Amino acid sequence: MTDQNLAIVVLAAGQGTRMKSATPKLLHPLAGMPIVGHVLATAKQLDAAHVVSVVRHERDRLVEVISVDLPESVIVDQDEVPGTGRAVELAVAALPADFSGDVLVVNGDVPLLDAGTLRELIEKHRAGGAAATILSSFPADATGYGRIVRTESGHLDRIVEHKDATDAEREIGEINAGIYLFGLSQLRDQLAALTTDNAQGEKYLTDVIGLLRTAGFDVDALPVSESWLVEGINDRAQLSEAAAKLNALIVRTWQLAGVTIQDPATTWIDVKTRLAPDVTILPGTQLRGATVVETGAVIGPDTTLLDCEVGENATVKRTDGTLAVIGAGATVGPFAYLRPGTILGADGKIGTFVETKNAVIGAGTKLAHFNYVGDAQVGEKSNLGAGVITANYDGVNKHRTEIGSHVRASTNTVFVAPVRMGDGAYTGAGTIVRKDVPAGALALTVAPQRNIEGWVAQKRPGTDAATAAEESGE
């Protein structure tokens, strides 16, 4: 149910220079989603009446993502006045005139903060009657962070920045996590009082806390259960740390749901991947995007699947697959490459050093080794021997190959598309199929074999081969 008394402001205007990247910081991928996508997903779970996203740097690229992930969000552009206080000021101005509830301010670069923690913050704020409630944390090292100084009654008295703190205040382990919940009327009044009269020339949202205390309002601080929940991402090192933490949480979640993951340290699973009970994941496996794996399937080792579907009891070993469908009971790998559009039917096989692309392969059909099948349709229970390929590109256009059911294509057969081979047909070894083959026919392109006697002795005299031939006595 929509919380009619809640508005969420997502701060997404920062430049993120410490990433040293042409990609905006908030769009760097994390477990299959952009960093800001995790924040938007959490905001969506809270079902607020209003969401406002404040953007500036690379705004069009960010708006494109926000519009997909949280289309109900109102987009506000930060103007030339810098600072988080100014961003929130503009966001508040974009709220409907009749809104009078609470305003939750979250940072777009804090992706691990979950909806449960924010719900706890909302409940504490509304039960306590404070003008504002913030999240705090107790990191292992508080150096550089603003310290939470509390009153004797336990309310927040003030936030002291590290550089301004006394030695005694620097001993405080509780820090400001940068997540705020305000009553709108009090917030609006104090935002109007913010100035840029500071070293950075910015309007700071943290100053609102001090203004509220000066005005006599209570402010509360709620410590989070784990400091990593509120850790922001500013550089690539922090991104990798967040990725490792999030992945560990994802892996453990699937383990508790009945999935066997032999080596969590080398297994990476994106947040949108779905696994059924009794799936087994072997070491070195990456399951990315919207990959779905059904019960009883075994994936890995050393396998990467992106946006793939794997059926019940299938086995996928040392394989790279993208946008592929693997049927129930099928086997894939080792060293297979499944490109987009591959559909392998139930109990089928794509074996060693096989590449497929835009190919529908029927139930029970086997491509056991050294095959390339692209832009093709292969029927049921056919067998393509070692080295069989479809030659689908004529240098200008791609063409399709159609191979029927119960076909036997012998070693090193080449299907030169466009071409069709009927049900139950065979080819001889080394056949080049340029014309359609009727059902039940045998296709051969065999030239007479010529043996040139004495060729090695004449053309390669003195070689080991010539000596061996001479000594054989034949």
Q: Which residues carry out catalysis?
A: 369
Dihedrals φ, ψ of 441, to 5°? -90, 160
Burial of 386: CB neighbours in 10 Å, binned 0-12, 13-18, 19+: middle
Dihedrals φ, ψ of 300, to 5°? 105, 180
Q: Is the dihedral of CA 223, 226, 232, 237 positive or negative?
A: positive
Q: Which two tokens stand for residue 142?
A: 């508080």
Partners of residue 434 on adjacent β-strands: none
The CA-based angle 443-447-449, given to 5 degrees, is 130
CA distance 7 to 102: 6
Dihedrals φ, ψ of 356, to 5°? -130, 150
325-326/343-344 β-pairing: parallel
Q: What are the b/e assignments for 129-155, b being 16+ CB within 10 Å?
A: ebbbbbbbbebeebeebbbbbeeeeeb
End-to-end CA distance of the chain: 91
CA nearest 341: which of 359, 363, 319?
A: 359
CA distance 369 to 352: 5
CA distance 290 to 173: 40
Burial of 397: CB neighbours in 10 Å, binned 0-12, 13-18, 19+: exposed
Q: Which two tokens stand for residue 234?
A: 């500013």
Helix segments in 47-152, DSSP class H: 59-69, 84-93, 115-128
Are 110 and 14 within 8 A, CB to CB? no
Are 74 and 92 within 8 A, CB to CB? no
Are 29 and 306 within 8 A, CB to CB? no
Burial of 168: CB neighbours in 10 Å, binned 0-12, 13-18, 19+: exposed
**SS3 at position 366:** strand
